[in-house]
Amino acid sequence: MTFQQPELDTSPKVSDEVRKTTCYMCACRCGINVHMKDGKVAYIEGNRDHPVNKGVLCAKGSAGIMQHNAPSRLRAPMKRVGPRGSGEFEEISWDEAFDIAASHLKPLREKAPEKLAFFTGRDQSQSFTSLWAQSFGTPNYAAHGGFCSVNMAAAGIYTMGGAFWEFGQPDWEHTKLFMIFGVAEDHDSNPIKAGIGKIKGRGAKVIGVNPIRSGYNAVADEWVGITPGTDGLFILAMVHELLKAGRIDLDYLARYTNAPVLLDCDPKSDNFGLFLRDDDGKPQVIDRKTKELVAFDKPGIMPDLAGHIRRAGVTHHAVMHQMAEKYLDPQYAPEAVAERCGIPATRIRALAAELARVAFEEPVVLDREWTDFRGETHAQMIGRPVSFHSMRGISAHSNGFQTCRALHVLQILLGAVETPGGFRFKPPYPKPVEAHPKPHCGVVPGQPLDGPHLGFVRGPEDLMLNKDGSAARIDKAFTWENPMSSHGLMHMVIANAHAGDPYKIDTLFLYMANMSWNSSMNTSGVMKMLTDKDENGNYVIPNIIYSDAYSSEMVAYADLILPDTTYLERHDCISMLDRPISEPDGAADAIRWPVVEPDRDVRGFQTALIQLGVKLGLPAFINEDGSAKYADYADYITNHERKPGIGPLTGWRIGEDGFNTGRGAPNDAQLDSYIENGGFHVHHIPAEASYFKPWNAAYQDWAVDLGLYDAPTPYIFQLYSEPVRKFQRAAEGHGDHQPPDHLRERLKKVMQPLPEWYEPFEGTMVDPDRYPVHALTQRPMAMYHSWGTQNAWLRQLHGRNPLYLPTKLMREHDLSDGDWARVSSAHGEITVPVMEMAALNENTVWTWNAIGKRKGAWALDNDAPEATKGFLLNHLINELLPPRGDGQRWANSDPITGQAAWFDLKVRIEKTIAPIEESRPSVPPQKSPVGQGPKELRWKVGK
């Protein structure tokens, strides 16, 4: 008998068409190929030609299909018909939605623009949304950086003109030792995974510093399970060892940093602790060749690290002298810090020695000639192949700004920034603080604000204060409470608005910010603030407008909903004006475009803002006759010019002889050119300009041609921060701008111009016997922020989250996997399932953030594991620190930048005895405005 073998199609046709765009399942912005069948999305894969991911795509990216088809998608504009928080809405038209929005906003613009607070979440169009807010005239605008990573961004820019994450990355081609601090898996996952794979493949070593050994730390060759909040102390102990051994790059420090700049060391001087400057205002150094006092950038000089000058009986020393005096102090010796850091002194010494060995005994030398900003030509590019990367783990502490600065000082002492094998900047960075705007708050009813909302202050004179000294902004950004808050304080907006401190607002306008749930400190308290009424029965925050693509927890707390599209249905601009996709060897930007049209009555938020701007008559969005300047966001991307010849996108601009890159007139076919090129554009850096960017004349000229600078802008790294010292001097009683008395001592302590470690605030304000345990959150690689766990594919990876306890605490409390524990803080209490994890700092517990969902949100079943077994640590955190007993309560933030101090949390663990069925607190269900999703999510694409 013979059997007929079935004919199998082993290579079925995946699609009818491939449409190339940019992923939005995390902030990597990878290139994707979206395969289409019969006009529907059938399959998503990586784009091999894309500069970010080179074809690699993670589980999140592939699951974009389910994000696009999620049952939780909003379907039409809605107005609230039930109480706030109930989730009861009525669908309305866009015309009615704009009429309602305009009825709130138009009177505010004409009489009191500051009564609009417009804050956006994790969108990637902040240059656009900030322009809208500036044109409206409100001073109250910021994005989510204040509760994400402003410490990282501000510390990097103030110290070296750029920072980790989108500002730069390791030199994956040449690094031999890679050290990561506080890096979870949700940010930048594809490039880091690929980079680690590349360097490990050639034998380079990876060291992970993190209380938690998961993700990147799990594949590290060495794991350092540090005590949370002590990274700065650990880093400065290594600095101590390097200085003590003389294992620092003296030539690099002399040429490219302010280590040789002289300080005014006269205690009687008005400029005590500031730089000695010449008549042109330039910091001065001693030239090692002539022994003369000269400007730091004078051609032909070699600055002297040991330079000093004596005047009127006072010796003025270089910054390097101050650094040596500070960090060689025994308080930074490994023995002095070991117990607090949870790292033995011998290991701290060994790590410092290994950094030095690789940096100085295994240099990378490229035979590539280049010329520096002083006119000296170098035959080679010599680098230190030690690279670092860091993220929220060291940023989200109340000492995070100084910790981040300490890490940059460590990099710079090794000569491992912008050299082969080290950390490299991505265009438009590097650029010094002076190249950034200062913040503005000049409000005139009916007029645009007098300048950008956010920026980088140079001293107390730049603070955003009213004439009476009160805060000009609702979040109190750029005040004495947090002077250098470059990203604003989004986590303080609702609490301040509710308290009417510094003033009452009328309308809270939010985009993609889940502030009633996982994006808020004090989740239970915020829900109450959003629903509180005054003595007249009116809501304390009168009007709330919100835009989201999905039925998140925050939707239920809004009065008006403007429904956004999914990322596959809209135009987006990943711009050089904002957060581009550049690599160290090239400037790159990208777009998203509607690979499918929405099947619901929704609009991209940016387009909706443009249309609302026209209705309100905002100058940035109307012509002189009042007509719309832009039809939609695609039109804005194409035709908007921030200044003549400079627009959102750099590619395919119109020049005299054809297409230009960077500078040029708008091109009506620009978006088509991007689409034809896979959704992105890259402009490569010449080889002679590829390293030493802040000081490389060829790079500076290239950046000017591209439009990143108007003129060459070389600068030196700021190991010693003069802006920080200016605030400290004010606290000491000097100058025309003075802080309130109750903040003087705090400012003197934290505003140290050389990086300083101090204990995180919550640890000093709670009883260490009652709350002895550190508690942290981080996000898994398969989920990015709040919207991953309603994705039908990704839910299967993380449908619930336990609280992970180290073995020591599991034994102390007689706990086993699956048991329940009561976790309490100075603010609140939760009851949650626990699980043992051996690779964890012995006094730290942690969980995955944003897994827990509120019943009724995200179209999930009320019995979904996310709503019953999932939970948030946010219930244990407050936007304010515990009372101090003197009537003052400080924000739970870094006192320099205002960064939310999520990771300062201290808790107590107790085993529960009674049987528990659901995580607590169990918040009552909301009504879902989109209904509940089906038990099974399935459909057929194609025939």
Q: What percent of the chain has pLDDT over 70?
A: 99
18-39: pLDDT as tens digits: 999 999 998 889 999 999 999 9
Average of per-residue pLDDT values in the chain = 95
HSE toward the beta carbon, residue 386, CA cutoff 13 A: 26
Q: Categorize the per-residue pLDDT at 147 as very low, low, confident or very high, splitting at 50, 70 and 90.
A: confident
Q: Which residues contact 681 (CB under 8 A, 6 or more apart)?
A: 588, 589, 590, 649, 650, 651, 652, 661, 673, 674
Torsion from C-alpha of 493, 494, 498, 502, nearest 10 degrees: 0
212-263: pLDDT as tens digits: 999 999 999 999 999 999 999 999 999 999 999 999 999 999 999 999 999 9
Alpha carbon distances (Å) from 32 to 62, 458, 648: 9, 41, 21
Token pair belonging to 43: 């399959």
Q: What percent of the chain has pLDDT over 90?
A: 89
CB 115 within 8 A of CB 505: yes
pLDDT for the residue 787: 67
In this prediction, residues 577-604 reach a mean pLDDT of 96
925-934: pLDDT as tens digits: 999 999 999 9
Angle separating helix axes 605-616 and 94-111, nearest 10 degrees: 50
911-927: pLDDT as tens digits: 998 889 899 999 999 99
CB 773 within 8 A of CB 209: no
Q: Categorize the per-residue pLDDT at 1 as very low, low, confident or very high, splitting at 50, 70 and 90.
A: low
The least confident of 60-74, 110-124, 499-513, 875-889 is 875-889
Q: How far apart are the first and last CA of the chain?
A: 36
Strand positions, DSSP E, 787-901 = 803-805, 820-824, 829-836, 844-848
One-character DSSP codes across 798-828: -S--PEEE-HHHHHHTT--TT-EEEEE-SS-
pLDDT for the residue 146: 83
Is the confidence at residue 2, as pLDDT, over 70?
no
pLDDT for the residue 9: 83
Residue 207 β-bridge partners:
179, 222
Cis before 113 (ω within 30):
no
**Measured between alpha carbons, how far is 870 from 897 in angstroms, rounded to an integer?**
32
Total Cβ atoms within 10 A of residue 663: 17
In this prediction, residues 77-87 reach a mean pLDDT of 97
pLDDT for the residue 12: 76
**Measured between alpha carbons, how far is 651 from 649 in angstroms, rounded to an integer?**
6
**What type of residue is 351?**
L
CB 916 within 8 A of CB 802: no
pLDDT for the residue 284: 98
CB 70 within 8 A of CB 792: yes
CB 126 within 8 A of CB 470: no
In this prediction, residues 517-529 reach a mean pLDDT of 95
Backbone angles phi, psi at 773, to 5 degrees: -110, 135
